Structure 1
Amino acid sequence: MKPAAAAPGVVAVAYSGGRDSTALLFATLRVAHALGLRVVALHIHHGLQAKADDWLRHCRKQCDAWKRQGWPVTLAWTRLHLHLTAGDSVEAVARRARYQALRRLALEHGAHTVLLGHHRTDQAETFLLQALRGGGVAGLAGMPVTATREGVAWLRPWRNRPRSDIEAYVVQHGLAYVDDESNADDRFARNLLRQQVWPALVGAFPQAEAALADAAAWAGEASACLEALATLDLASLDDGLGLDVQACRRLGTARGRNALRVWIRRMSGHRPSASLLERLWQESAGVSARRWDWAKGELRLYRGRLSWVGRVVAAASEARALPATHLSLKGGGIVAVPGWGGALRVERVREGGVAWERLRRVELRGRQGGEQFQSGHGRPPRALKKQFQAAAVPAWQRQGPLVYDAAGHLLFVPGLGMDARAWATPGRPQWRLLWEPLA
């Protein structure tokens, strides 16, 4: 999806209603009020807790109270409907869905920056948990201060501040917040660490929090170096037909596995486990064809080339083999697309969309080769492969149908968004499409 142009002076804050996010939203509003900025408070209703409705009411009440005081805040919220399958981690699924929803809400309100309330204690805890799980340097690096993904900058302005500073700030300003009772449930690893391990650790080593956060920072630098090395290696290992496994092995175990690890993450969207890497490294030696289940899809080795195919594409035996599908999107909302393994979401936008009449009858096609896409006005149309590469769109986000209007003009490409040649003129009502594959 091509993000909409950022509205001037708009910043978003992830706001659960808890202590940390309440403190961050309050601090942001104080600065925004002085600078003439607008703030969008983003609340995600997970539907996993009995008191989730109460938390939403609290957030509404608090934002309304601040707005009556003349502070520039707007509350935007959405309810998640999680789709879990056997073996899924509720925490992991909810986390992925939460970030996707935060991104969507932020872009809808013209904000391309989202502030998150994580602090130094969170970072130190993450380092410990990753170490106890046998995580590599990417996991040990924890949460970055800033990261840009899919048109949104995620910032953690308090990542280097201890929890005690936030607690003192809340008391100083008399801020009201909600308590998530699940934080006391020691069936979750982080809660167990906080309640039983952390007090003893900092009691014996008072500087543990700062030291662990420093270690995470070192791991972050090491991870960045490994990512850069993998990028150099993959330039010659993957020619678009798949990863040359034997050439990868010739780099040596450490360097070759690093390239393989990064390649799998980029293709599937999931960081591979140590056990998967070990299996691939051992089982691909001297073998020309093999398959491994991974990330709701398959890693396929054929004639020395490794590729990753998502479940939807695997089941459909390649989208380009499907016949063209005709349908109308005039009803808007979410439109299921039988046979393609997903649905199209139709959303109204201020810019970067197409006129309504072009969606009355559309045609869905698989990639045939030779298609071109224009990413913005003043930019030349380029082959889809080059556009995907330029936008760093991983293979797992490219799956889905191309959408054409009744006249055969390309409107939408999954992973890239609406073709600029089809954009409606400014000020005219317009809509954009999003592709939502089945989980």
Structure 2
Amino acid sequence: MIQEGILSFLQAHPASKYQLAYSGGLDSHVLLHACAALQAQKPEHFQFAVIHIHHGLQASAEAWAVHAQQVCASLNLPLKIIYLNLQPVRGESLEAIARHARYQAFSSCLAANEMLLTAHHQDDQAETFLLNAMRGSGGAGLAAMPTVRSLGLAQLGRPLLAFSRAQLEAYAASYQLDYVDDPTNADTQFDRNYLRHEILPRLQTRWPAVKQTLSRVAMWQAEQQQVLEQLLSRELLGFMGSRPHTLSAQTLQTVDVFMQKALIRYWLQHLGFALPAAKKLQHILSDVLAASPDASPCVSWQACEVRRYRDDLYALKPSRPHDAKQVLVWEEWNQDLYINSLGYSLSKELLNPAIKQIASTENLPLTIRFRQGGERLQREQGYSLELKQLFQTAGIPPWERERIPLLYLGDELRLVVGVYPQA
């Protein structure tokens, strides 16, 4: 039954290549075994590869990696092991950090048109629904885990969502599968384990089909969420700002607060950011959306910042640390200049022949600096322009201004990268 279910899923969701997320536990071992059997039956249709994530969090991690190698070798499946170096972050659970790093690692291994298959099943879906309900999630959270979703350039598929843990256990027993057992799965200090071992069994004594029912509710909610997102994707076009990927504050303020929240959530989700908690969303409305056009408000959470400049709302990743007082000497004119604090290089093509000729003839250094305040740009027409005025005219948001490289010829500002002169 499980192999037939996976086959139906794969036929409904074709991909150029399928990669299996394999931890070595019961669920992923069943998925791996079933997919290997399908490949043996239909080698011309299906080719699978396997990814094992070595989190390095437990003493058994290395043994699990060895187990993955042995299993994949026995099934003649290629295996890639990815080693993570997890750094705890204050205020975030290690479980959440590991999950985020794991999916980043998966995404890095997948090309466009490929699909990662995970072994989430019906019990996981019921647990996820309850967890999200206890956290006060909205519609997207209560939709729990979709059968298929995007993952970077590729997709993530869950072919086992229709099967219970008991069905997976029966499959493993019938094929005498040798899987590893993670002892942390029994630790009820983790919320999911508490639901799994303490709450759901009690609910099941009163409502035997509770897991199937919760999974069905999540599926219905997912359908409603999909319809809502289709409607919001059309609506969002009428609320875009003057810059790419921004929203117009003025236009947003023409609709009621419920529509504002729905549009902002969809906008953030569309850009790939984690959705803000209810309080953060309220701060976006009160502190950013309602701010005066000359203010520069910011609301931040979980690797996202929402800012406003003039009429535009921006959703941004937090900037990397940057020393605006640094001075970089561009000594090798025939080479690009890398700026470590910005994470990119300036092209040698910026140095036009006229600038290099003056620098060479008058023995003047070419340097890259950053805005300190009061700078004036020397223009070819013979007059200078205040840098602040140039930034305002170009619509450069304040938080970007001290990160824009300035090319100096001696002590004279000659070029503002990406702003003046315009390409």
TM-score normalised per structure 1: 0.67
Structure-2 change in CA distance of 1:324 and 1:80 (3 Å): farther
Tell me which of 280, 300, 304 is aligned to 1:276: 280
Check whether the contact 1:42–1:106 (CA below 8 A) recurs between aligned residues. Answer: no
- Whole-angstrom CA distance in 2 between matches of 1:286 and 1:24: 50
Check whether the contact 1:76–1:105 (CA below 8 A) recurs between aligned residues. Answer: no
Structure 1 counterpart of 2:313, one-letter code: L
1:63 maps onto 2:72 in alignment: yes
Check whether the contact 1:44–1:78 (CA below 8 A) recurs between aligned residues. Answer: yes
Check whether the contact 1:324–1:364 (CA below 8 A) recurs between aligned residues. Answer: no
1:300 maps onto 2:304 in alignment: no
1:287 is paired with a residue whose SS is coil
Structure-2 change in CA distance of 1:323 and 1:187 (3 Å): farther
1:160 is paired with a residue whose SS is coil
Tell me which of 94, 98, 105 is aligned to 1:101: 105
2:188 is paired with a residue whose SS is coil
Q: Which structure 1 segments of 5+ residues have no match?
A: 1-7, 68-72, 330-335, 343-362, 369-399, 402-439
In structure 2, what is the equivalent of residue 74 of structure 1?
78
Check whether the contact 1:265–1:272 (CA below 8 A) recurs between aligned residues. Answer: no
Structure-2 change in CA distance of 1:212 and 1:291 (3 Å): same
2:150 is paired with a residue whose SS is strand
Check whether the contact 2:322–2:341 (CA below 8 A) recurs between aligned residues. Answer: no
Structure 2 counterpart of 1:301, one-letter code: R
1:260 maps onto 2:264 in alignment: yes
Question: Which of the pair has more CA radius of gyration?
Answer: 2
In structure 2, what is the equivalent of residue 49 of structure 1?
58
In structure 2, what is the equivalent of residue 88 of structure 1?
92
Check whether the contact 1:146–1:153 (CA below 8 A) recurs between aligned residues. Answer: yes
In structure 1, what is the equivalent of residue 10 of structure 2?
none
- Whole-angstrom CA distance in 2 between matches of 1:62 and 1:296: 37
The Cα of 1:286 is off from its aligned counterpart by 4.3
The Cα of 1:149 is off from its aligned counterpart by 3.1
Greater RCO (CA < 8 Å, at least 6 residues apart): 1
- Whole-angstrom CA distance in 2 between matches of 1:137 and 1:327: 56
- Whole-angstrom CA distance in 1 between matches of 2:331 and 2:195: 52
The Cα of 1:140 is off from its aligned counterpart by 0.7
What does 1:307-318 correspond to in 2, within 5 Å? 307-312=314-319, 315=322
Q: Which structure 2 segments of 5+ residues have no match?
A: 1-14, 351-402, 405-423
Moved more, 80-89 or 127-136: 80-89
Structure 1 counterpart of 2:194, one-letter code: L
Check whether the contact 1:15–1:43 (CA below 8 A) recurs between aligned residues. Answer: yes
- Whole-angstrom CA distance in 2 between matches of 1:276 and 1:138: 17
Check whether the contact 1:14–1:43 (CA below 8 A) recurs between aligned residues. Answer: yes
What does 1:190-229 correspond to in 2, within 5 Å? 190-229=192-231
1:281-329 Cα shifts (integer Å, max 9, x gaps): 2334642122222333532123343213322268578xxxx99998999
The Cα of 1:229 is off from its aligned counterpart by 2.5
TM-score normalised per structure 2: 0.70
Structure 2 counterpart of 1:261, one-letter code: R
What does 1:15-414 correspond to in 2, within 5 Å? 15-36=22-43, 37-67=46-76, 73-107=77-111, 112-241=114-243, 242-267=246-271, 269-284=273-288, 286-288=290-292, 289=295, 290-312=297-319, 315=322, 338-341=340-343, 363-364=345-346
Check whether the contact 1:268–1:310 (CA below 8 A) recurs between aligned residues. Answer: no
- Whole-angstrom CA distance in 2 between matches of 1:51 and 1:327: 53
Check whether the contact 2:126–2:211 (CA below 8 A) recurs between aligned residues. Answer: yes
- Whole-angstrom CA distance in 2 between matches of 1:325 and 1:220: 58
| Aligned length in residues | 326
Structure 2 counterpart of 1:309, one-letter code: L
What does 1:413-428 correspond to in 2, within 5 Å? none
1:374-426 Cα shifts (integer Å, max 9, x gaps): xxxxxxxxxxxxxxxxxxxxxxxxxx99xxxxxxxxxxxxxxxxxxxxxxxxx
1:185-215 Cα shifts (integer Å, max 9, x gaps): 1111001111110110111111111111111
In structure 2, what is the equivalent of residue 376 of structure 1?
none
- Whole-angstrom CA distance in 1 between matches of 2:269 and 2:114: 25
The Cα of 1:151 is off from its aligned counterpart by 2.6
Structure-2 change in CA distance of 1:111 and 1:244 (3 Å): closer
Tell me which of 14, 38, 55 is aligned to 2:21: 14
Structure-2 change in CA distance of 1:214 and 1:297 (3 Å): closer
Structure-2 change in CA distance of 1:117 and 1:327 (3 Å): farther
2:18 is paired with a residue whose SS is strand
C-alpha RMSD over aligned residues: 3.2
